[in-house]
Amino acid sequence: MLKKYMIERNVPGVGNMRGPMSAGPAETSNKALAQIKGIQWLHSYITQDKTFCVYLAESEAPILEHVKLSGFPANKITEIVDEWDPSTPAQVANLAKKAG
Q: What is the pLDDT of residue 92?
A: 93
Mean pLDDT rounded to a whole number for the chain: 95
Cα-trace Rg, the chain = 16
Taking the domains of the chain in order of start, what are their residue ranges?
Answer: 3-99
- In angstroms, the Cα distances linking 95 to 44, 80, 85, 86, 92 are 30, 22, 16, 16, 5
Residues of the chain with pLDDT under 70: none
Q: Give residues with Cβ within 8 angstroms of 81, minimum separation 6.
A: none
Residue 59: phi, psi to the nearest 5? Answer: -165, -175
Q: What is the pLDDT of residue 78?
A: 98
- Per residue in 65-93, pLDDT (tens digit) is 999 999 999 999 999 999 999 999 999 99
Q: What is the pLDDT of residue 100?
A: 75
Q: What is the dihedral of CA 58, 24, 77, 57, to 10 degrees?
A: -10
Regarding the domain with residue range 3-99, which homologous superfamily does it belong to in the CATH classification?
A: ORF SCO4226, nickel-binding ferredoxin-like monomer (3.30.70.3090)
Q: What is the pLDDT of residue 2?
A: 96
